[in-house]
Structure 1
Amino acid sequence: MKELLDQQKLYYKDLLDRQEQNFRSFVQISTDSTNQRMDNLVREMQDLKSSLQFSQDELKDLKADKDSNLKKIKQLEQDIASRNDDVSTGLTEKLDYIENQSRRNNLIFDGIKEEKGETWEQAEMKVKDVIKKKLHINPVHIEIERAHRNGKPGERPRPIVAKFLRYKDKQTILGKAKMLKGTSIYVNEDFSDRVRRKRKELQPALRAARERGQLAYIRFDK
Structure 2
Amino acid sequence: MDEELQNIQKSLNFMSDELSKVAEKQEKLLALVTEVAKLKKIIKAKDAIIRGLEHRIEDLEQYTRREDIIVSGLQTTHRSYARATVMSMTTESGEDAPPEEQQTLERQVIQFLESRNIKVAPENITACHTLPKKHKDAKPTIAVRFVNRKHKVELLRQAKLLKGTGVYVNEHLTKKNADIARDARNLRKLKKIQATWTRNGQVKIRLNGTPEESKVVTIRDLKDLDPYK
TM-score, scaled to structure 1: 0.63
> Which residue of structure 1 aligns with residue 137 of structure 2?
155
Distance 2:128 2:122 in 1: 16
CA deviation after TM superposition for structure 1 residue 115, in Å: 3.2
Question: Could you tell me which of 86, 90, 99 is aligned with 2:48?
Answer: 86
Question: Could you tell me which of 147, 161, 168 is aligned with 1:165?
Answer: 147
CA deviation after TM superposition for structure 1 residue 112, in Å: 2.2
Distance 2:169 2:120 in 1: 17
CA deviation after TM superposition for structure 1 residue 200, in Å: 2.0
Residues 76, 108 of structure 2: 8 Å contact kept: no
2:54 maps to 1:113: no
- Letter in structure 2 aligned against 1:151: P
CA deviation after TM superposition for structure 1 residue 57, in Å: 5.8
Question: Could you tell me which of 109, 117, 122 is aligned with 2:104?
Answer: 122
Distance 1:54 1:205 in 2: 65
Matches within 5 A, 1:141-152: 141-144=123-126, 146-152=127-133
Residues 131, 142 of structure 2: 8 Å contact kept: yes
Question: Could you tell me which of 173, 182, 198 is aligned with 1:191?
Answer: 173
Distance 1:95 1:161 in 2: 21
Please give the secondary structure, in 2, of the residue aligned with 1:221: strand
Distance 1:184 1:51 in 2: 88
- Letter in structure 2 aligned against 1:112: L
- Letter in structure 2 aligned against 1:148: H
> Which residue of structure 1 aligns with residue 161 of structure 2?
179
- Letter in structure 1 aligned against 2:50: S
- Letter in structure 2 aligned against 1:62: E
Residues 131, 140 of structure 2: 8 Å contact kept: yes
Distance 1:87 1:101 in 2: 21
Residues 128, 142 of structure 2: 8 Å contact kept: yes
CA deviation after TM superposition for structure 1 residue 131, in Å: 3.8
CA deviation after TM superposition for structure 1 residue 51, in Å: 8.1
CA deviation after TM superposition for structure 1 residue 87, in Å: 2.1
TM-score, scaled to structure 2: 0.61
- Letter in structure 2 aligned against 1:123: L
Residues 70, 169 of structure 2: 8 Å contact kept: yes
CA deviation after TM superposition for structure 1 residue 170, in Å: 0.4
Question: Could you tell me which of 62, 66, 82 is aligned with 1:100?
Answer: 62
- Letter in structure 1 aligned against 2:136: G
CA deviation after TM superposition for structure 1 residue 204, in Å: 4.2
Residue ranges of structure 1 left out of the alignment (5+ in a row):
1-44
- Letter in structure 2 aligned against 1:218: W
2:197 maps to 1:218: yes
- Letter in structure 2 aligned against 1:92: E
Distance 1:55 1:191 in 2: 68
> Which residue of structure 2 aligns with residue 70 of structure 1?
32
- Letter in structure 2 aligned against 1:159: T
Identify, as 1 or 2, the structure richer in helix: 1
* Identity percentage of aligned residues: 20
CA deviation after TM superposition for structure 1 residue 173, in Å: 1.0
1:93-152 residue CA offsets vs partner (Å, 9 max, x unmatched): 212211221222111111222336369x932232233344434415145232x2211123
